[in-house]
Structure 1
Amino acid sequence: MKASIDIGTNTTLLLVADKNGPSLNILEEQQRIPRLGAGVDDSKALSKAAMERVVESLREFLEIINNKYPEVDDIYVTATSAVRDAKNKAVFIDRVEHETGLQIRVLSGVEEAEYTFLGAKSMLGDLEGQQMVIDIGGGSTEIAYGGKQLQDRYSYDMGCVRFTERFLKNDPPTELQIRHCKDAVKEMLEEYEFTIPNQTTLIGVAGTVTSLTFIDLGLSSYDAEVLSGRIITNEGLQEYIKIFSGYRSKALEQKYPSVMKGRADIFMAGLLILDGFMNEYNFEELITSTGGIRHGAILANKEK
């Protein structure tokens, strides 16, 4: 039995699972929203308050593991964009180890994309042809492409926390701010261009996509099994952008508390990044996967 913890820019996620070849038997998932990366785009440093919030989340996760899953023999802890970018990351990593005993592995953008590819596919069963996975994080967006094996991947320095802080400063954002954010997404995607065949399947993971799918299905409680495999169309995405662009974050959180708590104020930036990517590569739809880095961290490890 394995556990993995993904320390992201906005969320900190726990997964406990049994490994079964290229797939996982999920035993428990937990989410906390400490927003470690608040202000990192500007200051390039993790705040003491944000570090404390993450440490508290990790203590809670360890309590869950120790009390419910004493059979866990490995805990893989990864950190991504916020920690990568922070000039005081060593302080954070040392503090986590000192206070919890957990050792953090800071993933490169390329490694993050690789883990995401493994994790996304693990929740969807056997897929034919070629797939492209988009993981819109708080600080970066990872794209991974391949079939049975990963063939190409890239990490863009755009995420829903980073681009909200940079462009969408009003609540709700103005039309001009939305236009500037869209332009920035398009410019960022020009940094690296993928060559893919026409029949490539797009898979979306992480909070922007899973929250949008939750809303689209009209769910009242989060259910990973219900969400995985569901389709979001580009046409539907355009409608949601029109609707939610006029929402204040508080109203959005009140309407969809299960998925918008800790996410409502950055949701629009995530939708705009997804919109820009789907339009850039002419995708008419995407398949939702609830897999991600935490799943890939377990699958990538060669131990049984």
Structure 2
Amino acid sequence: METEGVRIGVLDVGSNTAQLVVADIGNGVPLPVHAVKEPVRLAEVVGRDGALGPDAIDRLAVAVGAAVAKARRWEVRELFAYATAVVRDAPNRDAALAQIEARTGVRLGTLSGTEEAELTFLAARRWMGWRAGPLLLLDIGGGSAEIAYGRDLAPSFAVSLPIGAARITRERLRQDPPGSGKVEKVRRYLRRELGEVASRMRWDAPRTAVATSRTFQQLAQLCGASPLRHGPFVPRVLRRDELARQIGRLGALTADKRARLPGISAPRARQSLAGALVAHTMLDMFGLDEVTICPWALREGILLQRVESADSWADRALTMPPAVVRRIGTSPNGQPRR
């Protein structure tokens, strides 16, 4: 597949937003030309069991339809559209995806948690460069958290755990504010979930630890890092000791008051405490005093994969216009990927 002169798009549907990134490929480098977000805020309407009810499906269909319309206006020729853990793990996922496809013409794909970790690792490696040495990646999403480690472009191990900020909030921190007893129970739960990975990291100590995702970016700003509006090239770190101090602050406030804090956006205020607990437990158990905030993550990893492995991309991409030539999330014989 030719890479030069192709305009491609990546539509990332998460628990808070559906984000479309449009990029041109020239000389093997993806150059972003446009980005747009459509709110979905699924955490507000997903059932306690994670099921996608009518309100959730409606929000997804509206956001996906709007994003695809914008992709067409920006003359996107290839679109990779996927949903992350909040949709992937829903018990009624297939029925929900079918309804969204019927309304938008797009069948959202679902990456596995391991695939998410591997692609995000690729983006972090490319951003940090080879001088970073052995690299540990941490990523906190709404439904899951991804961890990867390696010395090459691909990680030597990559895992996804069901400890995303929205999931922890929905399942374990429903009271607002939750109280110190609930917070300590969540800490113990997170330590159990992260125990096996932490044991492995004692044998494979990284030279560089990086964190991606909006959760980490907002927590870094809460702890004193430069705001995102100052651009991606400003160095940012998140320090464990400062995060520990902020957890007490977050735990004492209701969601509406957290939204007034530096870096904490209103849509993510409810889950900000859970995100902070996950992040701090990771740093504590992995023996990290700080992590570097990397502005590239899963979407950039997908764009880089398109540049570096065009054949792999061809199995997943939609061609637009005039028609969808292969449904995202299906194998070449048309059967759903599991």
Match of 1:254 in 2: 260
- Spell out the pairing of 1:1-304 with structure 2 (5 A cutoff): 1-19=7-25, 24-36=30-42, 42-67=48-73, 69-70=74-75, 72-149=76-153, 150-192=155-197, 193-195=199-201, 196-217=203-224, 222-226=229-233, 229-256=235-262, 259-301=264-306, 302-303=309-310
Alignment check: 8 A CA contact 1:38 1:161 kept: no
29-38 or 272-281, which moves further after superposition?
A: 29-38
The two structures have a TM-score, normalised by structure 2, of: 0.80
209-218 or 243-252, which moves further after superposition?
A: 209-218
CA separation in 1, counterparts of 2:126 and 2:63? 26
Alignment check: 8 A CA contact 1:19 1:299 kept: no
Q: How far 1:44 moved relative to its partner?
A: 3.8
Q: How far 1:79 moved relative to its partner?
A: 1.5
- Which blocks of at least 5 consecutive residues in structure 2 are unaligned? 1-6, 314-338
Alignment check: 8 A CA contact 1:131 1:201 kept: yes
CA separation in 2, counterparts of 1:181 and 1:33? 28
SS at match of 2:270: helix
SS at match of 1:64: helix
Letter in 1 for 2:299: R
CA separation in 2, counterparts of 1:296 and 1:225? 16
Alignment check: 8 A CA contact 2:45 2:56 kept: no
Residues 120, 55 of structure 1: alpha-carbon distance in 2 compared, 3 angstrom cutoff = farther
Alignment check: 8 A CA contact 1:10 1:161 kept: no
Residues 254, 124 of structure 1: alpha-carbon distance in 2 compared, 3 angstrom cutoff = same
Q: How far 1:191 moved relative to its partner?
A: 4.5
Residues 56, 223 of structure 1: alpha-carbon distance in 2 compared, 3 angstrom cutoff = farther
Alignment check: 8 A CA contact 1:15 1:30 kept: yes
CA separation in 1, counterparts of 2:25 and 2:151? 21
Structure 1, residues 130-149: CA drift from partner, whole Å, max 9, x if none? 11111111111110111222
Structure 1, residues 241-287: CA drift from partner, whole Å, max 9, x if none? 1222222110122345x751210000000010011111111001101
Letter in 2 for 1:173: P
Structure 1, residues 156-186: CA drift from partner, whole Å, max 9, x if none? 1111111112221221220001101111100
CA separation in 2, counterparts of 1:65 and 1:245? 40
Higher Cα radius of gyration: 2
Count of residue pairs brought into register by the alignment = 300
CA separation in 2, counterparts of 1:200 and 1:21? 31
The two structures have a TM-score, normalised by structure 1, of: 0.89
Q: How far 1:39 moved relative to its partner?
A: 6.4
